[in-house]
Amino acid sequence: MSKTSKLNILRTALSIIIALAISFIIIYFISEEPFRAINKMILGPLRSRRIFGNVIELMIPLIFTGVGVCIMFSASQFNLGAEGSFHIGGLVGAMAALWIPLPSFIHPLVAILLGGIAGAIFTFIPALLKIKTSSSELVSSLMLNYIALSFGNYILSYFLKDPKAGAPASYLIPNTARLSILINDTSIHTGLIIAILVTIFGYIFLYKSKTGYEIRVAGQNEQFARYSGINIVKVILISQLLGGFIAGIGGSVQLLGMYRRFSWIVLLGYGWDAVIVTTLAKKNPLYVPISAFFLAYIRIGADIMSRTTDVSPEIVSITQGVIIILIVAEQFLSKYRHKIITKEAKSLLDTEGVE
Amino acid sequence: MSDIILEMKDILKIYPNGIVANEHINLSLKKGEIHALLGENGAGKSTLMKVLFGIEIPEEGEIILKGKRVYIKSPHEAIANGIGMVHQHFMLVPSLTAAENIILGVEPRKFGLFTNMEKAIEVADNIAKMYNFDIDVRAKVETLPVGIKQKVEILKALYRGAEILILDEPTAVLTPQETEELFIQLNKLKEKGHTIIFISHKLDEIKLICDRLTIMRNGKNKGTYKTEDVTTEEISRLMVGRDVFLEFDKEKANPKKTVLKVRDVSVKNKLGNLKVNNISFDIREGEILGIAGVEGNGQNELVDILTGLNENYTGNVLIFNKEAKELGIKGIRDLKVSHIPEDRMTYGCAKDMDILQNVFSNQYGDEKYSSKYLLKSKAMETRAEELIDEFLIKCNSFKQSVGMLSGGNIQKVVVAREFSVGPKIIVANQPTRGIDVGAAEFIRKKIIEFRDQGCAVLLVSADLNEVFELSDRLAVMYKGEFSGVFTNVEELTEEELGKYMLGLKKDEKLEGIIYE
Ligand SMILES: Nc1ncnc2c1ncn2[C@@H]1O[C@H](COP(=O)(O)OP(=O)(O)OP(=O)(O)O)[C@@H](O)[C@H]1O
Ligand SMILES: [Mg+2]
C-alpha cells in the first residue's frame, strides 16, 4: 500500500509543478522580465526571515478555517460559513479584549474562547435552518456571511469605533489581550501553537473519536448511518458547531495576534480559501498545515513578485485553479499508476506460477 | 467453427488496487445458447462481464465478435456491437421514472429534440407487458423495491435489442414465479437466435435453462461443460475446489417467551396506498418465523417498521415489551436487534469506506471498541480480521473499500456486521441474496445456531428453499396482509404455498400467528 500513497504524493507534487509551469508560461508572455518575476515568486519568500515569517503568519488563519471546513465537509455539510465565523470570531475577540479587563494570559484565552463560541453560533444558524426547514446549508451560509460582515460593521461603527483613528477602527486592543510574538524579527505569534493544537485535535476528533466516526459515516452515506442507529441530527449539529467554533477561534487568534485594532470592514477570505486548503488536504486535518503552508507560500511569493515586477498577483488564482482541477481529477496520472500496479501484480503471478 | 459468435481470449484484468480478478481467461459463446457463468463470490464473473461490456478495460487479451477482433472501450461501443448487460448492482437513475430509465439514450423524439414522454411511457409499458412484468413504468426508480428495479434493468437491456445479453444475477431478487416468467422469455430470445450469458448462484436454475456452463475460481477458468454432462455436486466441487455438503439437520425449535409482539399494524406509503394492512403476529425466543410472498406485498414496509426506520404507522410494535416508536432506531439496536436490509447498497454499507469502518457502524459504541470518547483502533482491527476470516470475506485486508468487493462479499460484510453483535432478535430481509452456495449454507447454519441460542428470527426471503429450510413457522404476505400461516412447514408443498402467495387462497383465521 505504501506504493500507492507514494503515488498520491507524486500526484499532488506533479499537479503543483504543472500548475506552476502553466503560471510561468503565462508570466513569460505578459512580463517584460519574466525570469526575474518567476524568480521572485519562487524564491522571494525565502529571501529573509521576516518575509518567510509572513508565510507562516498567513498560514495560521488558514489552518483554523481549514480544519473547521474539514470537519463540516467530512459530514457532507457544505457549510461555507467559516468565512462569517472567522469574521464574527475576530469581532467578538476584539469586544472581549476591549470590554472585559483581565490579566494577561487569561485575557486572550477568554477572548479566543468567546470568539469561538460566536463562530459556532454563526454556523449553527444554517445547520438549524437545514434541520427545521431542509434548506440547503450551502446557500444559507453563503448569504449569512454578508450578514456577518454587516453586523461587524454595525458593531464597529456604533460601539467600538475610536474617533481618533483615521479609518474606521476600534480602540486599541489592550496589551494584556494580545498574543505575544513567538519568533523574533517576525510577527509569528503564539497563535501558531494554538493552530497546531487545533490540527491535532481535529485529526483525533475526526479519525479517532466516536463522534468523528459518526460524522464520517453519515457524510458517506446518510441512509446507512441512520439505519445503523447513528443520530443524523446530532451529526449535522456537531459538525457545524465545531467547524464554526474552530473558524471562530481562528478569527480571534488572527485579530489578537496580528492587529492592534479591529478594523475589518471587508471579509478577509480565509473561509473561502479554506475550501481550497481542505480539498488539497483531502478532508484530513493532519494535512491541513501542509496545504495551508503551500497556499500561503505561493500567495506571498506572488505578492513579492507583483511588488517588484510588472506581473500582478492574480496570477496565483490561475495556479490555484489548475492545482485544484488536477488534484480533484481522479483520472490524472491514473494510467501511470495502473501501469505500476499491473506490473507488480503480474510479476507476482509469474513467481507464484500454478496455484 | 462458424457457430461461435463471441470469443474472449486470454483476458487479464488487474484492478487498480492490485487484485487480479481475471487471470488469462478464455470464454467462447455459441450463437443461440444460454451460457452460465458460475463461481464463488469474488471469482471474477462480474469483472469478466464488465470487460465484455466495456466498463473495465483489460490489461491483456482480445475479444473476437463474429470472427472479427473488436475493441470495446465503453458500454456505448458494447451496445453498438449488439451486447447488452443487466448489472448486479443496478445502474439506474434513481430520480427518473422506470419508463425514462428504460428508454434512456434511445428516447423516442418529438420534433427531433424533446423526449416524447407519452410515447416513452407507451413503449415502456408495452415492453413490460410483452415480458409479463407487472410494473408501474411511471413510478420513480428510487421509490421501487429491488425486485422491481431488477425488472427495469432487464427491460432496459431487452429494449436495446441486444444480440448478446449478459445477465449478472438477474434472479437473485426475483420470486420463483417471476423467475419462471423470465426463463420463458429467455428461451424465446434464444429461439430468435440471441445469445445469453447467465450468472447465478442457484444451480437448479442453471440446470434448468442453460445449455453450457463455465466455471470460474479465483479468477481462472476451470472449464466449460455441457450442462447435462455435469451433476450439481460436480459443479459445486469445481467451484469450491472441494466437496460441498448442502444438507444439514435442524433440530426442532424450542421457543420460549415472546419477544416481538406486533398488533394491528398498518402503514401507507408516500402516495397514500395501504402497504401493510392490519397485521399482527408474535415471535418467541428460539424460533424462526419465515415470511414468504411475492416481492412488493408489504414485506419491506413491515421490516422498516420493526427496525425503526419508519415510524409513521398505526398499531403497536413491542420489542421486549417496549414500544418500538419510543425506542427509535438506536434504542431498538441497543436491545440487540439486528437488521439485514434488503437493499445492501443503499442501507447496508458506505461503499467508499473500508471494511473495518463498515462492520462497526452498529457497535462502535460497545465498550470493547471504544472508551467514552475515543475508538479503540487495535481492538477494532483484530475484530475486523476475525470477522473477515469467519465470514470468508474475500479481500486484500480490512482496509479495502467495500465498493471494491464483489457483490456477494459486500453482502457478507453486511451479514458479518449484523451477526457480530450477539443478536437477540434478527430481522433478516433476503440474507443470502447474491451469496454463493457454500457461503449461503454457512449463513443459514448461523441463523439456526442463533435460534438455538435463544434468538428470535424474522426471515423475509424470496428464496423458497431458504424459507422452507429455515422457518419454524411460515406466514405468507399478500397485498399487505397475511394470507396464510403454517405451523407445520415440513408438510407444506411449494404448490400450496404458491397459491397463497398469488392470493388464490386465503386463510381468514390465521391460527398460530399470535400466542396468547
Ligand atoms: N472496482 C473494483 N476495484 C478493485 N477490486 C475489485 C473491484 N471490483 C471487484 N474487485 C475485486 O475483484 C474480484 C472479483 O470480483 P467480481 O465482482 O468479478 O466477483 P464475482 O465473481 O462477480 O462475485 P459475486 O458472486 O460476489 O458477485 C474480487 O476479489 C473483488 O474484490
Ligand atoms: Mg458479481
Write the pLDDT tens digit of every residue in B301-358: 999 999 999 999 999 999 999 999 999 999 999 999 999 998 888 899 999 999 999 9
Disruptive mutation site among B73, B329, B361, B368 for chain A (greatest number of A CBs within 10 Å): B361
Cα–Cα distance, A119 to A247 (Å, whole number): 6
User: In which band, very low, low, confident or very high, does the pLDDT at B1 lie, cut at 50, 70 and 90?
Assistant: very low
Tell me: do B43 and B108 sit in the same domain: yes
- In this predicted structure, the answer to whether residue A79 has a pLDDT above a threshold of 70 is yes
Tell me: do B235 and B299 sit in the same domain: no
- In this predicted structure, the answer to whether residue A21 has a pLDDT above a threshold of 90 is no
User: In which band, very low, low, confident or very high, does the pLDDT at A355 lie, cut at 50, 70 and 90?
Assistant: very low
3-class secondary structure, B213 = strand
Distance (Å) from CA B413 to ligand 1 centroid:
14
- In this predicted structure, the answer to whether residue B109 has a pLDDT above a threshold of 70 is no
Q: Does A104 touch chain B (CB under 8 A)?
A: no
Count of structural domains within chain B? 2
Work out the minimum CA distance from B346 to partner chain A, whole angstroms. 7
Tell me: do B229 and B316 sit in the same domain: no
Q: State residue B129's pLDDT score.
A: 86
A336 is a domain residue: no
The amino acid sitting at B262 is V
Q: State residue A160's pLDDT score.
A: 86
Give me the domain span that covers residue B331: 254-336+457-516
Q: Does A221 touch chain B (CB under 8 A)?
A: yes
**Of the residues B178, B206, B240, the one at which a domain ends:** B240
Cα–Cα distance, B274 to B267 (Å, whole number): 6
What is the average per-residue pLDDT within B183-212?
A: 89
CB contacts of B241 in chain A (<8 Å) are none
Tell me: do B93 and B183 sit in the same domain: yes
B394 is a domain residue: no
Tell me: do B258 and B154 sit in the same domain: no
Give me the domain span that covers residue A256: 58-301
A8 is a domain residue: no
Give the residue whose CA is nearest to atom 27 of ligand 1.
B407
Work out the minimum CA distance from A220 to partner chain B, whole angstroms. 6
Tell me: do B290 and B236 sit in the same domain: no
- In this predicted structure, the answer to whether residue A195 has a pLDDT above a threshold of 50 is yes
Q: State residue A225's pLDDT score.
A: 96
Q: What angle do CA B337, B339, B345 make, to 5 degrees?
A: 155
B317 is a domain residue: yes
- In this predicted structure, the answer to whether residue A258 has a pLDDT above a threshold of 70 is yes
**Of the residues B240, B263, B286, the one at which a domain ends:** B240
Q: State residue A303's pLDDT score.
A: 85
Work out the minimum CA distance from B486 to partner chain A, whole angstroms. 31
Tell me: do B186 and B306 sit in the same domain: no
- In this predicted structure, the answer to whether residue B114 has a pLDDT above a threshold of 70 is no
A212-226, A306-320, B181-195, B402-416: the lowest-pLDDT one: A306-320
Main-chain dihedrals φ then ψ at residue A180, nearest 5 degrees: -80, 160
3-class secondary structure, B453 = coil
Report chain A's mean pLDDT, rounded to a whole number.
Answer: 88
Inter-chain CB proximity B59 and A231 less than 8 Å: no
Q: Which residues form ligand 1's pocket by a CB distance below 6 Å?
A: B 15, 17, 19, 21, 39, 41-47, 88, 394-395, 404-409, 436
Which of A69-73, A184-188, B137-141 has maximum average pLDDT?
A: A69-73
Q: State residue A1's pLDDT score.
A: 44
End-to-end CA distance of chain A: 24
Distance (Å) from CA B435 to ligand 2 centroid:
9
A74 is a domain residue: yes
Pick the more confident residue, A355 or A92: A92
B194 is a domain residue: yes
Q: State residue A353's pLDDT score.
A: 45
Q: State residue B301's pLDDT score.
A: 94
Tell me: do B70 and B140 sit in the same domain: yes
Q: State residue B153's pLDDT score.
A: 87
CB contacts of B377 in chain A (<8 Å) are 208
Q: State residue B423's pLDDT score.
A: 95
The pLDDT > 90 percentage for chain B reads: 51
B362 → chain A, closest CA residue? A228
Pick the more confident residue, A1 or B94: B94
Report chain B's mean pLDDT, rounded to a whole number.
Answer: 88
User: In which band, very low, low, confident or very high, does the pLDDT at A354 lie, cut at 50, 70 and 90?
Assistant: very low
A313 is a domain residue: no
Q: What are the pLDDT digits (tens) for A108-140? A: 999 999 999 999 999 999 999 999 998 899 999
Q: Does A50 touch chain B (CB under 8 A)?
A: no
Query: Which residues neighbour A129 within 8 Å (Cβ) at sequence distance 6 or greater?
Result: A135, A137, A140
Count of structural domains within chain A? 1
Q: State residue B245's pLDDT score.
A: 62
A180 is a domain residue: yes
Q: State residue A333's pLDDT score.
A: 64
B229-233, B283-287, B330-334, B448-452: the lowest-pLDDT one: B229-233
Pick the more confident residue, A84 or B493: A84
Please give the C-alpha separations between residue B279 and each of B456, B475, B481, in angstroms, as whole numbers.
Answer: 18, 11, 6
B314 is a domain residue: yes
User: In which band, very low, low, confident or very high, does the pLDDT at B244 lie, cut at 50, 70 and 90?
Assistant: low
Inter-chain CB proximity B373 and A228 less than 8 Å: no
Torsional sign, CA B340, B342, B347, B349:
positive
Inter-chain CB proximity A213 and B341 less than 8 Å: no
- CA of B201, nearest ligand number: 1
Pick the more confident residue, A69 or A164: A69
Tell me: do B93 and B203 sit in the same domain: yes
Tell me: do B60 and B153 sit in the same domain: yes
A21 is a domain residue: no
- In this predicted structure, the answer to whether residue A352 has a pLDDT above a threshold of 60 is no
Tell me: do B81 and B162 sit in the same domain: yes
Give the CATH number of the domain where residue B485 resides.
Answer: 3.40.50.300
B248 is a domain residue: no
Tell me: do B12 and B114 sit in the same domain: yes
Give the CATH number of the domain where residue A233 resides.
Answer: 1.10.3470
Predicted-complex ipTM score: 0.85
Grid coordinates given for B484 = 396464510
The pLDDT > 90 percentage for chain A reads: 56
Please give the C-alpha separations between residue A29 and each of A22, A244, A305, A312, B272, in angstroms, as whole numbers.
Answer: 11, 43, 15, 13, 66
What is the average per-residue pLDDT within B8-22?
A: 89
B163 is a domain residue: yes
Work out the minimum CA distance from A197 to partner chain B, whole angstroms. 17
Inter-chain CB proximity A224 and B329 less than 8 Å: no
Inter-chain CB proximity B333 and A228 less than 8 Å: yes
Q: What is the DSSP string of A328-347?
A: H-TTTTHHHHHHHHHHHHHH
Grid coordinates given for A48 = 529573509
Helix A49-74 / helix A232-258 crossing angle, nearest 10 deg? 170
